[in-house]
Amino acid sequence: MLDSMPPYKPGKAVVSPEGRSYKLSSNESPYGPLPSVVEAVARAATEVHRYPDPGAVRLTEALAERYDVPAGHVALGAGSVAVAQQILAAVGEPGADVMYAWRSFEAYPLLADLSGARSIRVPLREETHDLDAMADALTPETRLVFVCNPNNPTGTVNRTEELRRFLGRVPGDVTVVLDEAYREYVRDADVPDGLALYREHPNVAVLRTFSKAYGLAGLRVGYLIGHEPVAAAVRKTLLPFAVNHLAQAAAIASLHAEDELLERVETVIKERTRVREALLSQGWTVPPTEANFVWLRLGERTMEFAAKCAAVGVAVRPFDGEGARVSIGDPEANDVFLAVAQAFV
């Protein structure tokens, strides 16, 4: 089985001949960690001869308080990709089907393959999850559905009414995981906070991460908020000590610094608007995006475009034959990318 699995392709950094490098390939925050977070990590570094708190009690309680949910509804992992793997370990079983839209987050097929589940991929419609088609494609074996909102790599969203209709059609014994890795970047008021849907539906769980808006991609911490028994099952699948001491400390400090971090998100959103409008005026077609990236459906020209970007030090995330995802960076990085786009269109 492993021989037939494609490896996960991480976003790579590239360097121009002049030594310039702009990494717009992994949807990371363009900002370094806040001083208060660095301080918390430094303090925690003096304690790493000890094992971390295996239950991550303080972080779990901080999240429970932040979102006004019972601590028993919180489950952590070493990044939300790891949490997604834990969910599959918890609800997957031989012969189970796992459903997701395609194209969506590249980790889903890998995780499904690793768990031994069968993947049901439902094509996007107009670059967006086709929730009616997904409901139609449910099988008696479907145990889990991922809904990535906003979708990676297209940045598109599904709104409250269609999500409610979809959830009304999903049987109660199928777990629906709303992957909200980019939730903090959403400004469309018709996009529901997944936590509202979790409160309405016992089979809905929300997946969030400290990797993107909170800027802790290098530390690996993500979490699920869901009802018993899903949250309890996901907690049981956590390897002992998987969320390390520095990650726990940094995540707690980040929750304390939330206002400051969300101000940075506003800056990224302003740049997102500027970048998309510039691309549209250059003549590109760019789906409206509620995440910290834009999607260019380049088709056969995808790899050529990625090479042109790389030549000036801009790393983007190409999907050969389909398109390129370009993260919103700082204004300088965005300008370098826009200059390539202008010459290419």
Ligand X SMILES: *Cc1c(COP(=O)(O)O)cnc(C)c1O
Both structure tokens of 234: 């996901």
| φ/ψ of residue 286, rounded to 5 | -130, 115
DSSP string, 74-132: EEEESSHHHHHHHHHHHH--TT-EEEEEES--THHHHHHHHHTPEEEEEE-BTTB--HH
* Minimum gap (Å) between residue 324 Cβ and ligand X: 15
For ligand X, which is the closer residue by CB, 105 or 295? Answer: 105
For ligand X, which is the closer residue by CB, 181 or 316? Answer: 181
* Minimum gap (Å) between residue 343 Cβ and ligand X: 29
Q: Name the residues that contact ligand X, by CB under 6 A.
A: 27, 79-81, 105, 148, 152, 179, 181, 209, 211-212, 217, 222
Cβ neighbors of 140 (< 8 A, separation 6 or more) are none
* Minimum gap (Å) between residue 312 Cβ and ligand X: 25
For ligand X, which is the closer residue by CB, 174 or 243? Answer: 243
Which residues face 179 on adjacent strands? 148, 207
Cα separations in angstroms, 315 against 293, 301, 318, 339? 13, 16, 9, 14
* Minimum gap (Å) between residue 105 Cβ and ligand X: 4
* Minimum gap (Å) between residue 208 Cβ and ligand X: 8
Strand 204-209 to 22-23 pairing = unpaired
d(CA 179, CA 157): 12
Place of tokens 């089979």: 203
For ligand X, which is the closer residue by CB, 179 or 340? Answer: 179
Contact (CB, 8 A) for 117 and 88: yes
* Minimum gap (Å) between residue 230 Cβ and ligand X: 17
For ligand X, which is the closer residue by CB, 22 or 108? Answer: 108
Cβ neighbors of 226 (< 8 A, separation 6 or more) are 73, 75, 175, 198, 204, 205, 206, 234
Residue nearest to ligand X (CB): 79
* Minimum gap (Å) between residue 146 Cβ and ligand X: 9
3-state SS assignment for residue 249:
helix
